[in-house]
Structure 1
Amino acid sequence: MNLRFFALASASVLALGVVGAQAADLTYEPAPVVAAAPAAFNWTGFYLGVHAGAAIFDGDYAYGNYAPSDDNTGFLGGVQAGYNWQFDNIVIGAQTDFAYTSAKISDDVVDAQNKLEWLGSTTARIGYAFDNLLVYGKGGVAYGQSKIESVAYGDDSKWHTGWTAGVGAEYAFTQNITGLLEYNYVDLGSKDYTFAGGVGASADLTTNVIKAGLNYKF
C-alpha cells in the first residue's frame, strides 16, 4: 500500500516538473527596443551667417607712363544670407555676402595708397550633400569699393564690379548651425580714377579670398 502511494506521488511530482518546464519555455520575452536612426539633414531653407578670413588684394596700375603691380593681404569680415533647395543629394541655392576689408597696397614711387574698403558678391551655388556635409561650387557677380589716396593729388573712390567663382564645404553641426570653409577668386575689373588738377590713374583689381564662417539655418 505504501509502495503504491509512493509511486503515485513520484509520478505526480514528475508531471508537475514537466509542465513547469514547458510553461517556462512559453514565457513571453519582449523584443529589444531599437533606437530610431537619426533623420538625414535637409539643406532646404533660408540661412543667415557671419564670416571672417583673408583677402589677398592684387592691383595693376597706370599712372601716366608708370605702371606698377603689387599685392598685399588684409583682414576680411562680414555677413551672408541665402536660400538652399535640396533635391535628393543635389543642393542648389543663391547667396549674397558683404564684407569689410583692411587690404591695401602702397606705392612709394608716386606716394599713393590703394585701399579695398568693401567687398561683396551675389552668387548661385550648386553642391552635393553627403547627409550633413555639403561640398559646392559657386559663381556670380562681385562688387567692391576701392579708394586711391595720393599725398600730392588727394583721393578718389570707385565702385568696381566684376565676377567671382569659388569652391567650399559646409558642415551641419546641428539642425540649425552649420560651419563653412570657402575659397573665392574675385575679378573686380578696371576703373579710371581722377585726382585734383586732372591727374588720372587706372586700377585693375583682383582678390583671392579665403574665409571661414557660421550660418544659422531657419
Structure 2
Amino acid sequence: MNALRLATLISASALALGVTAAQAADLTYEPAPAPIVEAAPAAFNWTGFYLGVHAGAALLDGDYNDVDFGGFSGDNTGFIGGVQAGYNWQFDNIVIGAQTDFAYTSAKISDDAFGAENKLEWLGSTTARVGYAFDNFLVYGKGGVAYGQSKIDDAVLSVNDSQWHVGWTAGVGAEYAFTQNITGLLEYNYVDLGSQDYFNDAVSADLTTNVIKAGLNYKF
C-alpha cells in the first residue's frame, strides 16, 4: 500500500512539473519600451538679414538764432514711425551688425513771439550694432550717422524753408526672438543733427532729439 501511494505521489508531481514547464515555455518575454527623449530645441542664431517696423516717441530740442531778432530755444515731443533693415553676424555669443532705418515724425517746436514753427519731418540713421546674445535674447549698443529733414515756417513773412541735417547718433537696445523668424525690440537713441542755415543764412537751427521706440523684425 505504501509503495502504491508513493508511486501515485511521484506520478502526480511529475504531471504538475510537466504542466508548469509547458506553461513557462509558452510565455514570451517582452522588454519594457525605451523612454522617449525629446530633443532640446536648437539655440537661436542671430546671423541673417532682417526687415522690420518701429514706432515710438521723439523728443525734439532746438536752438535757433535769427540775425535780425536774436535767438530762442524750445522742445516738444511727437510721434515717430518707420521701417528698418539690417544684417547680423553671430560669433559665439557676440553679435555684430549693420542697420539702416528711416521714419516719419510729427515732432515740432513753435515760438509765438517769433511767429515761427520748426517741424522735424523725417529722421533716419545708418549705424553699426554690437551686442551679446543670451540665446534668443540680445542686448546691444549702436552708433553711426544720422540725418533728418527739417522745415521752418515763418508765419510773419509767410515763407518756409526745408533743409537736410546730417549728424550722429548713439543708442542702446534689447531684442527678443519669439520664434526663429519673429523678433521684438525696445530701443533708445540720442540723435544730434547739428546746425543748419535757413532762409539764405538768416536763421540757423541746431537740432537734437531723444528717441524711444519699440519694433518688430522678420528675420530671413
TM-score using structure 1 length:
0.91
What is the CA distance between 1:121 and its match in structure 2? 0.1
Q: 3-state DSSP class of the match of 1:67? A: strand
For 1:175-199, what per-residue CA distance to the aligned partner results, in whole angstroms no more than 9, with x for missing partners? Answer: 111111110000000111116xxx7
1:158 corresponds in structure 2 to 163
Question: What residue number does 1:51 align with?
Answer: 54
Matches of 1:189 and 1:28, distance apart in 2: 78
The AA in structure 1 aligned to 2:204 is: S
1:7 aligns with 2:9: no
| Secondary structure of 2:70's aligned partner | coil
Aligned partners of 2:109 and 2:15: how far apart in 1?
Answer: 109
Q: Alignment length, in residue pairs?
A: 212
Equivalent residue of 1:68, what SS? strand
1:171 has 2:176 as partner: yes
Deviation at 1:9, TM superposition (A): 2.4
1:191 matched to 2:196: yes
The root-mean-square deviation of aligned C-alpha atoms, in Å, is 1.8
1:17-60 deviation line (CA, Å, top 9, x unaligned): 7x57xx67x53222111111111111111101111110100001
Q: Distance in 1 between matches of 2:8 and 2:61?
A: 115
1:41 aligns with 2:47: no
Give how far 1:14 is off. Answer: 5.3
Task: Give the distance between the partners of 1:142 and 1:206, measured in 2 at CA.
Answer: 11
Q: Which runs of 5+ in 2 are unaligned?
A: 1-6
| Structure whose alpha-carbon radius of gyration is higher | 2
2:115 to 108, 111, 114: 111
Instruction: Tell me the amino acid that sits aligned with residue 186 of structure 2.
Output: L
Letter in 2 for 1:207: T
Q: Deviations over 1:70-118 (max 9, x none)?
A: 1100000111000000111111000000000000000011100000000
User: In 2, distance between residues paired with 1:68 and 1:31?
Assistant: 79
TM-score (normalised: structure 2): 0.90
